[in-house]
Structure formats: C-alpha cells, structure tokens
C-alpha cells in the first residue's frame, strides 16, 4: 500500500483558472512524476495515470498500479510540439498536418519510436503513441515535470476510464503517490488514436477528433482497424493492443439495442420496452428470484420519453442526454457505467446511437462494454 496524496485544485474546479495555491499542488505532482513516482491528473478526455516516460521503473509501476498486462503500451504526453522531436524517429508529412490541426487536443498519433523511449513504455513495440493534451492542468503538470509523461487512463484495468477525481480515488487510492483532482473531464471519452507510421493513416480508436475531421484535413479516406468493426476472434491481434481487452465494462452483463439505419431510431424504444416487459424478465426469472433482479437502463431523454408507461419504478434508469447532443452523451457515459457497478445492477440494457461523427466513438465504447451483445432493430 502506498499513501496517496490528494491534491484537490479547489480554485480551478470553481473558476477554471489555475490559482497560485493550485499551482503549488500541481508542482508537487510534477515533482513526484519527475522523480519516478505516479500521479493521476485530469485531461480533457479522461484522467491519466502519469509517470516519467523515460524511466523503465516508472512504466513498470504504472502497469502494476492498474493491474494491467504489460504488453499494453502507454501513451506519452507532451506539453509543447517541439518536445516530440527526441521521442520519435521521424515526423511524417501527414502527421505534421494533423498535429497542426488537432494539437493540443484529444488526438494521439502512433510514430516510430526513438531510442530514448524505453520498451517498457511501449509494451515492447518499436512504435510510440504521443499526445499533446489541451487541458490547462495537464499542460502545466507536464511542463513543470520537465519530462514526457507516460499515462494510460487512470482506472483499474478492465473498468471504465475515470472522468473525475472521485473516480480516480475509487480505483487508485493506496496504489499511486498522488491524485490531482481538477474536476470532471469535459469530453469523457479517450483520445482518437491514429497510426501514421504507414503510407495510409489508420484509425485505431475513435474519439472526439472524428474520422470525418481527420479525412477533411488529410483529404483522403481514413481506414479503420478491423477491431473497430467486429469482435476479434481468438488469437487475432488489433493494432492497438489495448483494444483487445474487455474494456470500459461495467460488472453486469449488458445488451446494446441499436438501429442499423437512422430512420429506424424510433424502433429502439419499442424493442427495449419489449425486452423489459417480457423476454428479459422471463429469462432472468428462470435464474433468480424476481425480487433480487435489478435491471438498469442507459438511454437518451427521447428514448425514456417514448417509453413512458412501460418504465417501472424498480428500473434503474440513467439518462445519458439528448440524442441530438452527442457531446453530452459522451461526457456522461463512463460515469454512468461506473454508477451501475455501485448500484449493483444485475443486467444493463443500453440504447445505441447513430454512428456518425462523435457517435462512432460512443458506439465503439458501448459495443465493448456490451461485449458485442448487440440487438439491431
């Protein structure tokens, strides 16, 4: 057990501006990282579990703290564009254009690594993932640490990523040296990952920098890794090793109900009602006493509205937001998946969304949380 120091940025949380007393706390976290310790910190996507990316031992400790397999490489965070130079073997032209358009921000690029980056940080790969986050606290922390900061999402392996200081405390207290609490992460989903080591950039993980945005800058179609399209068969390896794990997952089994085409969105609530009313209850009744079964529902305001009358009081409903506002849905998603664990849900039914733009990233996380149990209407 490590004693975990809680560094709460009270002024930043209240005002969005880093005060002098906040800065002292950030400096404390930065020193911990520079000296080989671990400190969780906020970014605009999700919280990161930071360590010195140039120290083998620090990377090993990150894997240990998360309970994460060590073949799953870490993202290296920088606070200025020029800081990338010593970390990578080359900067392809297309990567430069993407960096100019989307950094600082929620995008990670995969490069051929330089010798400076230890293999412990890259999970044994010859490539390195680099991100330049836009969150003011993350920037200040990395700058002050004076070293590139390796940071996976700050959750225990297999659990949904953390999007608040409270989530980090839940998962990491006693496992890391410090947690910087800077309030809730605005985007709520991890960064977009794009591999720029080949001639054709490839999307490995969708995020808030959408495929449509990448294509507009590159002026070409961006292909996606097969791991995004279907569950992998045994022994198959995705390009981003982390995408093979049952990630983002709440403890209870989850089924995702979604429409193949946007025009059929209205049928989702009908299908969910059907599941709630008979099929699901019958199935569960076989296994357990009815009273003990806690059914949870994760859906949009519109979907809940369409189902008024069907929804019984004992159903644990969480409203992700409006179907028309994917940013709101993304922001809330992991928080609610975590709450289902705390509520002790036995079975989760989730509404699916249209897969354009940010909807593609939301659906990627939902499909994985549901372990690809999908009902199409």
Binding interface with Mg ion (CB under 5 A)? 153
The smaller minimum CB distance to ligand TXA, of residues 117 and 329, is found at 117
Across the strands, what pairs with 15? none
**Residue 30, token pair as written in the block:** 């930065």
Instruction: Return d(Cα 247, Cα 70) in angstroms, integer.
Output: 15
What 3-state DSSP class applies to 146?
A: coil
Instruction: Return d(Cα 220, Cα 200) in angstroms, integer.
Output: 9
Cβ neighbours of 159 (radius 10 Å)? 22
Task: Report what 151 binds from Mg ion, ligand TXA, none; CB cut-off 5-8 Å by kind.
Answer: ligand TXA
Instruction: Return d(Cα 36, Cα 222) in angstroms, integer.
Output: 38
The smaller minimum CB distance to ligand TXA, of residues 45 and 300, is found at 45
Task: Report what 239 binds from Mg ion, ligand TXA, none; CB cut-off 5-8 Å by kind.
Answer: ligand TXA
The smaller minimum CB distance to ligand TXA, of residues 240 and 249, is found at 240
Task: Report what 332 binds from ligand TXA, Mg ion, none; CB cut-off 5-8 Å by kind.
Answer: none
Q: From the CB of 74, what's the least distance to ligand TXA, in Å?
A: 6
The smaller minimum CB distance to Mg ion, of residues 152 and 347, is found at 152
Instruction: Return d(Cα 200, Cα 195) in angstroms, integer.
Output: 9
Task: Report what 240 binds from Mg ion, ligand TXA, none; CB cut-off 5-8 Å by kind.
Answer: ligand TXA
Task: Report what 105 binds from Mg ion, ligand TXA, none; CB cut-off 5-8 Å by kind.
Answer: none
CA-angle at 111, arms to 110 and 116, nearest 5°: 120
Binding site residues, ligand TXA, CB under 6 A = 43, 45-46, 48, 72-75, 108, 110, 122, 125, 127-129, 131, 151-153, 190-191, 193, 204, 239-243
Q: From the CB of 127, what's the least distance to ligand TXA, in Å?
A: 4
**Residue 240, token pair as written in the block:** 């981003």
Instruction: Return d(Cα 91, Cα 96) in angstroms, integer.
Output: 7
Q: Whose structure tokens read 């057990």?
A: 1
Q: From the CB of 270, what's the least distance to ligand TXA, in Å?
A: 35
């Amino acid at each position: 057990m490590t004693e975990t120091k809680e560094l709460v940025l009270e002024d930043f949380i209240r005002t969005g501006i880093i005060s002098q007393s906040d800065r002292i706390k950030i400096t404390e976290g930065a020193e911990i990282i520079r000296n080989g310790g671990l400190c969780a910190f906020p970014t605009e996507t999700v919280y990161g579990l930071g360590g010195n990316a140039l120290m083998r031992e620090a990377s090993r400790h990150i894997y240990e703290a998360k309970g994460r397999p060590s073949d799953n490489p870490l993202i290296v965070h920088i606070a200025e564009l020029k800081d990338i130079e010593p970390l990578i073997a080359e900067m392809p032209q297309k990567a430069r254009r993407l960096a100019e358009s989307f950094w600082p921000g929620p995008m990670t690029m995969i490069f051929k690594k330089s010798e400076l980056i230890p293999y412990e940080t890259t999970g044994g790969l010859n490539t390195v993932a680099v991100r330049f986050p836009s969150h003011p606290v993350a920037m200040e922390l990395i700058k002050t640490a004076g070293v590139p900061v390796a940071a996976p999402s700050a959750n225990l392996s297999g659990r949904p990523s953390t999007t608040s200081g409270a989530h980090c405390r839940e998962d990491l207290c006693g496992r890391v040296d410090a947690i910087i609490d800077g309030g809730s992460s605005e985007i709520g989903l991890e960064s977009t990952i794009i591999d720029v080591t080949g001639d054709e950039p490839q999307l490995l993980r969708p995020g808030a920098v959408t495929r449509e945005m990448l294509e507009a800058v590159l002026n070409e179609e961006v292909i996606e890794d097969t791991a995004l399209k279907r569950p992998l068969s045994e022994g198959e390896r995705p390009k981003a090793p982390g995408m093979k794990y049952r990630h983002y997952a709440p403890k209870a089994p989850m089924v995702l109900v979604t429409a193949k085409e946007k025009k059929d969105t209205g049928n989702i609530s009908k299908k969910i009602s059907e599941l709630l009313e008979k099929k699901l209850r019958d199935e569960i009744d076989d296994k357990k006493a009815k009273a003990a079964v806690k059914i949870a529902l994760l859906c949009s305001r519109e979907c809940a509205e369409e189902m008024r009358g069907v929804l019984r009081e004992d159903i644990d409903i969480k409203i992700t937001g409006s179907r028309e506002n994917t940013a709101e849905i993304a922001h809330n998603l992991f928080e609610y998946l975590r709450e289902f664990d705390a509520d002790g849900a036995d079975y989760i039914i989730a509404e699916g969304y249209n897969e354009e733009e940010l909807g593609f990233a939301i659906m990627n996380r939902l499909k994985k949380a549901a372990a690809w149990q999908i009902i199409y209407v």
